[in-house]
Chain A
Amino acid sequence: MLNHILSLMLAVPLLGAVACLLVDGRTARTVALVATLIDLALGIVLWSQFDVGGARWQFQENAALFAGFSWKLGIDGIALMLIELSVFLMPICILASASIEKRVGEYMAAFLLMEALMIGVFAAQDLYLFYIMFEAGLIPMYLIIGIWGGVDRIYASYKFFLYTLLGSVLMLIAMLWMVNEAGTTDIPTLMEYNFPVEAQKWLWLAFFASFAVKMPMWPVHTWLPDAHVQAPTAGSVILAGVLLKMGGYGFIRFSLPMFPEASAHFAWVVFALSMIAVVVTSLIALVQSDMKKLIAYSSVAHMAIVTVGLFAFNVQGLEGAMIVMLSHGLVSGALFLCVGVIYDRLHTREINRYGGLSINMPKYALFFMLFTMASVGLPATSGFVGEFLALSGVYQASSWVAFVAGTGVILGAGYMLYLYRRIAFGEQKNADAAAMPDLSARELVMLAPIAAAVLWMGVYPESFLAPMRQDIAALDARLSQARPEGDAKLTAGKPKAAGEHHEPAQHEGAH
């Protein structure tokens, strides 16, 4: 079974999806929950069987299909962690969909299809297979927003589609060229292949067009707030939790190892856009009156920390970026769940319609506070470890970038606490909000595991860092050929004579 566990993890949700289409709504919920739980169990097996420090690529399987195109799967530690994130969030998403009443079977099928495609993206080792999974993953999300979304769902879904279209086309052309040049579609081989530097630049830009939209980076981020606002809760969770990570995964799997020189050449573009993103989108988040829009904009700011970490070209930056991705997947997912909890009760995302929820929903207030603090990067939560590593990594490349990206630490605290204040603090000014019941058992089951994971990653991140360490080290070694020099220009010290015990210099005047 272990030889084909990845295929199995793809097959389970696919079969579940087919089953969901055939049965009635109630059964479909059960089928979906069971299928996602099986995948979660398989995910746990996968993690426990993953040999940390062993072969770089594990659980590989390969079946040639046609015309050089093959069903080739396999994972390293980076892919493993992102797969774990996906299978962890999926059952929670199914639970969070209790308020969906329209076309439940199709809804569940769409989610299960998406789970299969997400795992496929992270497990694919064939370039074309990756491309198909990567692009196909958009379709269920497009449907989820377009069919089960809010009032402006059509506008949001077409915007989502339009943005991703252009980048995808460019990426496909680049892939065709690469396969032609290197003579293989095997991703591990391509990661070692040295493309000519001039060609790298064009290829890098083509991939960048796709990944920057997915990330999303400023200024191609405007699809995200609309998509989040219109998507149903579970859609937002998956969108923020996993789909946004595909951009970061793309950078770490393709752009950096395949085009190291071009990555170094264009790092300033990434830095500039990320710095703008941190400041601009954080400030925009400050003035939002719609909860989901606020969290969506905060996502853009957090993803900018990922991109600066990735292009820091050192271990801390890369590991930090990965942890920010995992952490953001958990935390923003949880924040969207928190929004969903009160949206289900009052059917409005308007922040000012709430207030004083600490009084009637103390448990909710506790969880919401925890995730708020994780979002602002309080130490001992996952947010801190990632942010700290990523920023310390980029500091070695450029103190300016670290400083500007670091202002996100201040601004993030500003908009998140301002949000929390308006929702949970103050008097209960609206009778209907004041009458809302606290978390139900179902909602507790959704939020508690994420809370535990957030604290675990914050207190003992080694569990998550260890599987990725070797891959990050390999990538770091690969990048070392192109690593730009940092801006610190540290000179050697000129210690005064006679060692370490200095008298306070102020004494000199006393004699």
Chain B
Amino acid sequence: MNPILLIVFLPLLASAIAGLGNRALGNTLAKSVTTTGLFISCALSWPIFISFVSGHAEPQVVQVLQWVRSGSLTFDWALRVDTLTAIMLVVITTVSALVHLYSWGYMAEDPDQPRFFAYLSLFTFAMLMLVTADNLVQMFFGWEGVGLASYLLIGFWFRKPSASAAAIKAFVVNRVGDLGFMLGIFGTFLVFNTVSIPEILVRAPSMAGSTVHFLGMQWDTMTILCILLFIGAMGKSAQLGLHTWLPDAMEGPTPVSALIHAATMVTAGVFMVCRLSPMFQTSETAMHVVTYVGAATLFFAATIGTTQWDIKRVIAYSTCSQLGYMFVAAGVGAPGAAMFHLFTHAFFKALLFLGAGSVIHAMHHEQDMRYYGGLRKHIPLTYYAMLAGTLAITGLGIVDVFGFAGFYSKDSILEAAYASASDSGRFGFWMGILAALLTSFYSWRLVFLTFYGKPRWVQSEHIQHAVHDAHAHGDHAHGHDDHGHAHDDDGTAGYHPHESPINMLIPLGVLTLGAIFAGYLFHHSFISEGAGHFWQGSVAFSEELIHHMHGVPTWVKWAPFVVMALGFVTAWFAYIRNPKLPAAFVEQLGVVHQFVFNKWYFDELYDFLFVRPAFWLGDKFWKLGDIGLIDRFGPNGAAWVVAQGSRAAKKVQSGYLYSYALVMLLGLTAAISWVMVH
């Protein structure tokens, strides 16, 4: 059997077993089945990836089942494996397997574990279907499938109103993007008479310069198709305008955030643009749109990231921002760099989320960083993991020597943006530099607030509950704990955070290695001048752009390092050296801070523009339209007329013989005269 079949369908099988077996199967069995399935998938994926890295593999397509034949519109279930897919395979299966393992520890006390693991595996299956798609419709299947799994996992703790609200929001906002994707597919079929990706990519250049009408306006054909598809990508990858669901998605359990809302699902949009990069390159306008949207998002999300207190929301906005970088790369014609950043980002962002989960686990589900502090000594392994993740995302490294993962990928994006020498590229470059400063600041802010300073746990309700419960159980926490500093007046409230169990630490360890070495090990394959052999045409890889990237001025190469250092120093100054500074800053710039802190008021705006009007209109259409107008003048009106008629008839039916006789006579006269006249 072809390994790709096992890789893709084992998670589905495991999900079905765990989900349908549910409580009857029991926690351990359900967890074992799903986790084993994922580790097998992962073990089978790496050899495929390695063979592409070493240049020994050929792209292949495995047919699974016929799907739809409708006139000339045909598409099948098929699994495509090429370089681009191979990268995604290892990213998805590795992070997913680790997240499964991590969840053994993180979800240990949850009563609903089989359901959780079933959803995780279901998600993995859908994501794998997405990246192995050979036609746009199967990609759309994966697209919606991951949307479903995301919906289910965000709403996993469905008793919480905020969780189920966030789940609906994620699904519906994504559907807005999906409508764009669907229209894009329809348009593509109209133009090319096929939905097969390879055929579209081959024929796309021949349609450059043609025009088509859409919504009554005349467009450049390739531009409108790419923009419609890109709207889909914006929804899934939470780009500016369709990003509002991602921060709320943090209502889901933290392993979910690591897998879906950091490493894999949200990168689907980037994957799509890279997969279709030969198509996007036929339209300059579409490329500019991608770049501008990415650049705007990466800056916008980074600003919000600097103000949030919830540890997961900071990382969520950071994800949103990093996705913007990837789109900038794709938009300036460097899909190789975009995919490379996707690859490294998957490791370090999953690491940051799982690290945050470990902190939350230690801090009894407290997520507000204002109530953290001084955790470095209590959970040292988590601290080191988070440190590695932070160094990776901020991109620490020395040019031509060694760097953490983000150093290679983020810098290559900035260089590509600079080297592309278009207005949009330049915009992307400067926004990227600015956001790199903010990235460094908010990442270090997170580390300093969480792990440094004095404990501020006493103000946290979660911690107070935990301590209270512990005391109620006979105060044994004090008995055998020798961390030493447990006095109620030192801000700890007498609480003792514990390092996470081993099944949570192993994933952290593996991802730490990824965050440190993923860039160094693979940058040659992804973005060197000879990387065309690696990509084998699976993306529109431009050797020329790589060449230009190597030729950028030295200050461009060092600029990311400088702003990173600047961000670090600022964060150090504001949160360690002089912790009163942020409050003073907020005081001075209250309006700006309010605006940024409230996420640029997007939620309020959308609520005002879409949600309320929808309910208001629904109510009016119903009560005024259906009941007040249609029913009133339709059936009820007819009934009224009938009733009036019968009332009149009742009057006529008086029972008096002479009146009947009169009517008969009148009728007869009328009839006879009618006949005589004719």
Residues of A participating in the B interface, judged by any CB pair closer than 8 Å = 158-159, 162-163, 219-220, 222-223, 225, 280, 283-288, 314-316, 319-320, 356, 358-359, 362, 366, 373, 378-380, 384-385, 388-389, 391-392, 395-396, 399-400, 402-403, 406-407, 409-411, 413-414, 417-418, 421, 424-427, 459-462, 465, 469, 476, 486-496, 499-500, 502-507, 509-510
Within the complex, the shortest CB–CB distance from B272 to chain A, in Å, comes to 15
Whole-angstrom distance between the alpha carbons of A77 and B243 in the complex? 46
Cβ contact within 8 Å between B185 and A392: yes
Cβ contact within 8 Å between B69 and A462: yes
Residues on A with C-beta less than 8 A from B209 are 493-496
Cβ contact within 8 Å between B621 and A284: yes
Cβ contact within 8 Å between B208 and A496: yes
B221 lies within 8 A of chain A by Cβ: yes
Whole-angstrom distance between the alpha carbons of A504 and B284 in the complex? 8
Residues on B with C-beta less than 8 A from A410 are 172, 175-176, 179
Known contacts A287-B622, A425-B155; A392/B189 CB under 8 A:
yes
Whole-angstrom distance between the alpha carbons of A357 and B144 in the complex? 25
Residues on A with C-beta less than 8 A from B214 are 399, 488
B183 lies within 8 A of chain A by Cβ: yes
Whole-angstrom distance between the alpha carbons of A411 and B179 in the complex? 11
B521 lies within 8 A of chain A by Cβ: no
Cβ contact within 8 Å between B212 and A378: no
Interface string of B327-370 (1 = CB under 8 A from A): 00000110000000000000000000000000000000000000
Whole-angstrom distance between the alpha carbons of A373 and B631 in the complex? 32
Within the complex, the shortest CB–CB distance from B130 to chain A, in Å, comes to 11
Q: What are 24 pairs between A and B in contact, CB < 8 Å?
A: A158-B635, A222-B634, A287-B622, A316-B70, A392-B189, A395-B186, A399-B187, A417-B167, A418-B168, A425-B158, A426-B164, A459-B77, A460-B67, A462-B66, A489-B213, A491-B212, A500-B202, A500-B206, A502-B205, A502-B281, A506-B421, A507-B420, A507-B542, A507-B545
Binds A, one of B492-500, B585-593, B612-620: B612-620
Cβ contact within 8 Å between A417 and B186: no
Cβ contact within 8 Å between B210 and A391: no
Known contacts A283-B614, A491-B210, A493-B207; A358/B158 CB under 8 A:
yes
Shortest Cβ distance from B333 into A: residue: A504
The 4 closest A-B pairs by CB, nearest first: A504-B333, A315-B71, A494-B209, A283-B618
B577 lies within 8 A of chain A by Cβ: no
Known contacts A465-B70, A490-B212; A413/B175 CB under 8 A:
yes
Residues on B with C-beta less than 8 A from A286 are 614-615, 618
Cβ contact within 8 Å between A280 and B71: no
Whole-angstrom distance between the alpha carbons of A33 and B591 in the complex? 71
Cβ contact within 8 Å between A222 and B635: yes
Residues on B with C-beta less than 8 A from A469 are 69
Whole-angstrom distance between the alpha carbons of A342 and B625 in the complex? 30
Residues on B with C-beta less than 8 A from A220 are 634
Residues on B with C-beta less than 8 A from A493 are 205-210, 221
B137 lies within 8 A of chain A by Cβ: yes
Interface size on B, residues (CB 8 A): 88
Known contacts A162-B635, A283-B621, A380-B145; A461/B172 CB under 8 A:
no
Cβ contact within 8 Å between A425 and B634: no
Residues on A with C-beta less than 8 A from B215 are 399-400, 403
Cβ contact within 8 Å between B631 and A222: yes
Shortest Cβ distance from A469 into B: residue: B69
Residues on B with C-beta less than 8 A from A384 are 141, 144
Residues on A with C-beta less than 8 A from B202 are 500
Known contacts A491-B212, A506-B333, A507-B420; A319/B183 CB under 8 A:
no
Residues on A with C-beta less than 8 A from B570 are none
Within the complex, the shortest CB–CB distance from A511 to chain B, in Å, comes to 9
Whole-angstrom distance between the alpha carbons of A159 and B632 in the complex? 12
Cβ contact within 8 Å between A504 and B71: no
B216 lies within 8 A of chain A by Cβ: yes
Within the complex, the shortest CB–CB distance from B73 to chain A, in Å, comes to 5
Whole-angstrom distance between the alpha carbons of A316 and B544 in the complex? 43
Known contacts A413-B175, A495-B208, A506-B425; A316/B626 CB under 8 A:
no
B287 lies within 8 A of chain A by Cβ: yes
Cβ contact within 8 Å between B69 and A506: no
Within the complex, the shortest CB–CB distance from A194 to chain B, in Å, comes to 24
Residues on B with C-beta less than 8 A from A396 are 186, 190
Whole-angstrom distance between the alpha carbons of A410 and B171 in the complex? 9
Residues on B with C-beta less than 8 A from A392 are 73, 185-186, 189
Cβ contact within 8 Å between B212 and A488: yes
B178 lies within 8 A of chain A by Cβ: yes
Residues on B with C-beta less than 8 A from A460 are 65-67
Cβ contact within 8 Å between B179 and A503: no
B46 lies within 8 A of chain A by Cβ: no
Shortest Cβ distance from B217 into A: residue: A399
Give the interface centre of B172, B284, B425 by most chain A CB atoms within 10 Å. B172
Given A385, A414, A494, which contacts B172 in the complex, CB threshold below 8 Å?
A414
Within the complex, the shortest CB–CB distance from B589 to chain A, in Å, comes to 37
Whole-angstrom distance between the alpha carbons of A283 and B333 in the complex? 42
Cβ contact within 8 Å between A507 and B544: yes
Residues on B with C-beta less than 8 A from A489 are 211-213, 218
Whole-angstrom distance between the alpha carbons of A424 and B165 in the complex? 13
Shortest Cβ distance from A287 into B: residue: B618
Given A225, A284, A378, A391, which contacts B186 in the complex, CB threshold below 8 Å?
A391
Residues on B with C-beta less than 8 A from A225 are 626
Shortest Cβ distance from A411 into B: residue: B614
Shortest Cβ distance from B425 into A: residue: A506
Cβ contact within 8 Å between A389 and B282: no
Whole-angstrom distance between the alpha carbons of A220 and B635 in the complex? 10
Cβ contact within 8 Å between A395 and B282: no
Cβ contact within 8 Å between B145 and A399: no
Shortest Cβ distance from A400 into B: residue: B215
Give the interface centre of A220, A417, A504 by most chain B CB atoms within 10 Å. A504
B43 lies within 8 A of chain A by Cβ: no
Residues on B with C-beta less than 8 A from A465 are 68-70
Residues on B with C-beta less than 8 A from A499 are 205
Whole-angstrom distance between the alpha carbons of A378 and B179 in the complex? 12
Interface string of B373-409 (1 = CB under 8 A from A): 0000000000000000000000000000000000000
